[in-house]
């Protein structure tokens, strides 16, 4: 199953689209996330100069462009107990 198909099929299922930042994602600069047992290049889906996602932060995978995941920040700190 392709990643695109996986993302389309898993919308609405809890915790299936979450990844963990491994290398800082900073505004318009991509980083790296751990998602589905592997590491992926990632950037913000909606880049903001003031947004910085540090290693250990949780993100929601919204889609992808080529091999780069498009992510958005997650504010819910309870994820670490479920993922």
| Per-residue confidence (pLDDT) for residue 3, from 0 to 100 | 56
Rounded distance between C-alpha atoms, residue 70 and residue 47, angstroms: 10
pTM: predicted TM-score of the whole model, two decimal places: 0.75
Q: Find out whether 43 and 61 touch, Cβ atoms under 8 Å.
A: no
Q: Find out whether 82 and 15 touch, Cβ atoms under 8 Å.
A: yes
Looking only at the bridges linking them, the beta strands covering 58-65 and 18-23 are antiparallel
Looking only at the bridges linking them, the beta strands covering 31-35 and 18-23 are antiparallel
| Per-residue confidence (pLDDT) for residue 69, from 0 to 100 | 97
Q: pLDDT tens, position by position, for the chain (83 residues)?
A: 455 545 555 454 445 799 999 999 998 899 999 999 999 999 999 988 888 999 999 999 999 999 999 999 998 655 555 44
Domains of the chain in start order, with CATH, are 3-78 (2.40.50.140)
| Per-residue confidence (pLDDT) for residue 27, from 0 to 100 | 85
């Amino acid at each position: 199953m392709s990643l695109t198909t996986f993302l389309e099929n898993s919308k609405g299922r809890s915790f299936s689209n979450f990844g963990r930042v491994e290398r800082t994602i900073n505004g318009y600069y991509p980083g790296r996330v751990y998602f589905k047992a592997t590491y992926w290049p990632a950037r913000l889906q909606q880049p903001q100069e003031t947004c910085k996602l540090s290693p250990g932060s949780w993100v929601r995978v919204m889609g992808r462009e080529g091999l780069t995941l498009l992510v958005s920040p997650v504010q819910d700190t309870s994820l670490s107990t479920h993922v």
